[in-house]
Amino acid sequence: MTAQEILESLKAKFGDAILDAKLEAMQPWISIAPDRMKDVAFFLRDDSFLQFDYMMCLSGVDYNDGRLGVVYHLFSMVHRHKIVLKAFCTKENPHVRSVSSVWGTANWHEREVFDMYGIIIDEHPDLRRLLMPDDWEGHPLRKDYKVPEFYNGMKVPY
C-alpha cells in the first residue's frame, strides 16, 4: 500500500485524530493526536490490509520551538510497507498515550523517551527512568538542558 492509501484508510476510520501529513517527504509521515495514539496503533496492527506488526523504532524529538514529539517508525513484515507516525505535544502539556500494549517493544523505548525528554507516557505499565540514575534531575536530551555541576559529590563537567 502506498502512503496515500494508508492515510486514506486512517482518515476513514479516525477522521479527526489525523492532524497532519507530509506524503512528499523522503519517508512520508502522518501526525496523530497524542491521546488517540493507542487506538490508531491497534487499528494499524490488526487491520488485514495494513498489518503493521513490527515497530522498527520509537524516538523522542525536541523541536526547539516549545514542541516535543514522539516519532514511530512502523513496518509490516507481511505486506512489506513502512509508515512513520508522529505525535506532537507541548512542553507545558507533554502527554502521549502509550502503545506498549500494541507492540511489546515500545515499553523500553517509551521509558527512554520519558527519561531523555520528559514526555509523560500515559497508561505505561512501568514509567520510570531507564538509562539515567533514578534520582537524576532534568531530562538530558532537551535542547535547553544544563549539565549539573555536581552529582552526589562527583564533578560532572570536565
Partner 1 sequence: MIETKTLPTAYVTDPRAMRSSSGKTLRTDEMIINMGPQHPSTHGVLRLEIVVDGEIIVDVIPHIGYLHRCFEKHAEHMTNYQQVIPYCDRLDYCAAINDEHSYVLAVERMLKIELPERVEYIRVIMAELQRIASHLIAVGTFGIDAGAFTPFLYAFHDRELILSLFEMTCGARLLYNYFWIGGLSHDLPPQFVDKAKEFCTYFKPRIKEFNDLLTFNEIFVKRTANVGVLPKDVAINYACSGPMLRASGINWDLRRDDPYSVYHKIEWEPKIGKGEMGTVGDVWDRHIVRMREMEESVKIIEQALAALPAGNVQAAIPKRIRPDAGEIYARTETPRGELGFYIISDGSGTPYRVKGRAPAFVNLSVLPDISRGAMIADLVLIAGSVDIVLGQVDR
Partner 2 sequence: MGLLDQRFENGNVFVTSLDNLLNWARLSSLYQMQFGLACCAIEMMAASASDFDIMRFGIIPRATPRQADVMFVAGTVTIKMASRIKRLYDQMAEPRYIISMGSCANCGGPYWEHGYHVLKGVDRVIPVDVYVPGCPPRPEALLEGIIKLQEKVRKESLVKKSTEEKHKK
Q: Are 92 and 39 in contact (CB under 8 A)?
A: no
126, 128, 129, 134: CA torsion to nearest 10:
-130
**Residue 158 touches which member of partner 2, partner 1, none, C-beta under 5-8 Å by kind:** partner 2
**Residue 25 touches which member of partner 1, partner 2, none, C-beta under 5-8 Å by kind:** partner 1
**Residue 80 touches which member of partner 2, partner 1, none, C-beta under 5-8 Å by kind:** partner 1
**Residue 51 touches which member of partner 1, partner 2, none, C-beta under 5-8 Å by kind:** none
Interface positions, 115-144, toward partner 2 (CB under 8 A): 131-133, 140
Q: Which is nearer to partner 2, 24 or 158 (CB)?
A: 158
DSSP state of 133: -
Q: Are 81 and 6 in contact (CB under 8 A)?
A: yes
Q: Is 27 a binder of partner 1 (CB under 8 A)?
A: yes
- Among the listed ranges 12-20, 34-42, 105-113, 149-157, the one in contact with partner 1 (CB under 8 A) is 105-113
Angle at Cα 74 formed by Cα 71 and Cα 76, nearest 5°?
175
Q: Is 130 a binder of partner 1 (CB under 8 A)?
A: yes
Reported as type and span, the H/E element at residue 114 is helix 106-117
